[in-house]
Structure 1
Amino acid sequence: MAKSINEYEISEIKDIIIETDTIKTFIFDWDMEEGRIPKPGQFMMVWSFNGKQDEKPMSISKIGINNNEIGITIKNVGEFTNHIHNLEIGDKLGLRGPYGNNFSINGNKILAIGGGVGMAPISTFVEYAREKGKEIDVISASITKDELLFTNRLDNCGANIFTCTDDGTCGFEGYATHRTINILEDSCYDMAVVCGPEIMMKGIFNILEDASILAEYSMERYMKCAMGICGQCCLDNTGWRVCIEGPIFTSDQIKQIIEFGKYHRDASGVKHYL
């Protein structure tokens, strides 16, 4: 019998890739059973066994259908992620999923934009789209050169890579928004996909709207169940659940989400402005 996506799988860490000083990718064996094959843009719920039964959503950054592997890329930003960063090959994590919807492909020339660890779901999309023969330009943005993600990997799959860093240590000096404006001066696209800090995505949204380029955006919110039951990840004022109706939202949907680029809510429902 095929496993349900809502069943935990206690998974041994098969490999750990140190991407930057603060970001690691964790590789796991994963049976690609019907209903459990991840799609670009989906996420996993990760249980850390750290004594507090913590569980967090993490974007899938690697989908290895041929070798039955998945990867999740995690930035060390707090107690939960620090615990995971201290694990070693052979240690175990609890995984359930994949959850949420996925990026779609519309047209033949696509712009993919990722900021920081937002490159995780972007990377799976780019590889998938390249397998479909699509022409992909990728903007990979970070604060500094040492924090850029997956540039070699995506270059190897045939994507065109455009880096930008806040401090100018690699590629274009400036933000992802500046790099997007720069690229659109000479290029046209059928669609775009975007993931990164929400304040960045808000700026990108405005630029792409002005250029009449439809896009899809990967959003992040506080989650507990990932099954649409608890309501923790509902968006004002649509009521859409990021774990079910998202995490990928189209340009037309983004226009209806009044909190986009403005605030998010914590576990208690309190607004935190960006």
Structure 2
Amino acid sequence: MNCKEVKKYINLFIDSELDSKTNFEISEHLSSCEDCSKRFAQEERIEKLFVSVLKEEKDPKAEEIWGRIISSFGHQVEPQGERRLGFWSYLPDRLWRAGKRYVVPATVAILAIVITLIMYSKQESDELTAAVRKCHKEYITNKIIPSIESVSPGEVSRYFSGKFTFPVVLSEIPDIKSHHIRLFGGKVCHLNGVSTAYIMYHCCNTPVSVFILSIKDAEDFSDIKQYLEGDKILFRKTEGINFVATPANKDTFICVVADHDVELLRWMANNFTKT
């Protein structure tokens, strides 16, 4: 199960309204995806915050007023069936339903939820360069570690087997000039909700990150979409970190990121296009 599917079902998952198979798949995904785990924790905090500012006693008049408020919002932000747009899409269905069961100290509840959701709805950059740079920095500072540590391309390839809709096949990358390239390990990471094969290398004691994702997913990132459409966005340097990206084949896209010279990054990227 990918990030988009998890986000679709996360409210039902919290409310235990899914079948056992889907529950298991979501649990497995949450255990390996930091972004979705944070979203899940935020959803739970929002629910607890909402309930904490509501009274247990019911008041028919308050329920009637709350129902009118919900109905009013529904007419304004649900022009297409059940779909809520913009800011209101972040309100879980259970919060809308819960309002009908409790007395609402309206001002306190709405202000508390709005403050929380302002933080929650803050969007990350939609550029792949920003996403991989953030992940690479976390690798450098040991905030993330490989799920498998191995210098064997075959062993790391087996780890990735079956985890994506595209094959991830590693081979030995020959040294370039005096640079010795050593495989360190790999893990599944999620870049703005996109499942990605993350392969970690070292070259001359400098960490090098390689990301492999599907061409279809790469098109969701604004900078890569422009490159695929012909703007030739293949190389960037930001905050001292170089970024090289190129299609490996018709199905996959390769990104190499490091505080290293561009020639090395291109060399590594080109080796992945041959596997």
State the TM-score, normalizing by the size of structure 1. 0.23
State the TM-score, normalizing by the size of structure 2. 0.23
| Higher Rg of the two aligned structures | 2
User: Which structure is higher in strand share?
Assistant: 1
